[in-house]
């Protein structure tokens, strides 16, 4: 199957070849007319009409056909590019929709998970989800829990395999596990 781009290039090449042929043909006709003028001693009348004033409608028609063919070729080239542009936009939309659906699924799973937790665990999980990798001290401030209560809640969430604590120096960073 010939793609629009290839067909466009073929039409442009054909139109260029025919345009060159028309120019060569026009030059040859003028040279022949001049040769007849010289051979006849300078008279240019043939059947009541000067040879130089013959109708050029066939040449203009040929040039018009050449330019129409070239225009069609250029259109097909542009059409191919616009079609690729449309395909790229369509792919981006599909990708965006998939990503949005994935985020929505994750949020639904997270909301479902929160229903199984107590209030303190919900606060902690929501805060971690807002800022994955949050420091334990920042988490304590966000949730309003005491150090001891937060430590107990984090231990319970670790046992449930929902979070992981990563020590960094004297501080702990808290991450959600990829459970959902």
pLDDT of 151 over the 50 cut:
yes
pLDDT of 40 over the 50 cut:
yes
HEC profile of the chain:
CCCHHHHHHHHHHHHHHHHHHHHHHHHHHHHHHHHHHHHCCCCCEECCEEHHHCCCHHHHHHHHHHHHHHHHHHHHHHHHHHHHHHHHHHHHHHHHHHHHHHHHHHHHHHHHHHHCCCHHHHHHHHHHHHCCCEEHHHHHHHHCCCHHHHHHHHHHHHHCCCEEEEEECCEEEEEECCCC
CB contact at 8 A, 155 and 161: no
Residue 139 has a pLDDT of 92
> Hey, what are 82's tokens?
């616009």
pLDDT range class, residue 119, cuts 50, 70, 90: very high
pLDDT of 179 over the 60 cut:
no
For tokens 């345009």, the residue is 19
pTM reported for the whole predicted model = 0.47
pLDDT range class, residue 46, cuts 50, 70, 90: low
Give percent of the chain above pLDDT 70.
86
pLDDT of 12 over the 70 cut:
yes
Residue 88 has a pLDDT of 78
């Amino acid at each position: 199957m010939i793609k629009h781009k290839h067909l466009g290039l073929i039409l442009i090449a054909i139109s260029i070849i025919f345009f060159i042929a028309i120019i060569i043909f026009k030059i040859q006709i003028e040279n022949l007319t001049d040769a007849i003028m010289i051979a006849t001693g300078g008279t240019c009348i043939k059947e009541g009409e000067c040879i130089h004033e013959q109708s050029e409608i066939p040449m203009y028609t040929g040039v018009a056909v050449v330019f129409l063919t070239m225009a069609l070729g250029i259109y097909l080239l542009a059409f191919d590019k616009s079609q690729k542009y449309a395909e790229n936009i369509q792919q981006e939309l599909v990708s965006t929709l998939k990503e949005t659906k994935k985020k929505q699924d994750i949020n639904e799973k997270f909301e479902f998970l929160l229903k199984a937790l107590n209030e303190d665990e919900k606060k902690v999980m929501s805060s971690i989800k807002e800022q994955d990798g949050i420091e334990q001290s920042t988490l304590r401030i966000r949730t309003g829990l005491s150090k001891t209560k937060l430590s107990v809640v984090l231990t319970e969430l670790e046992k449930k395999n929902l979070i992981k604590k990563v020590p960094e120096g004297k501080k702990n960073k808290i991450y959600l596990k990829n459970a959902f």
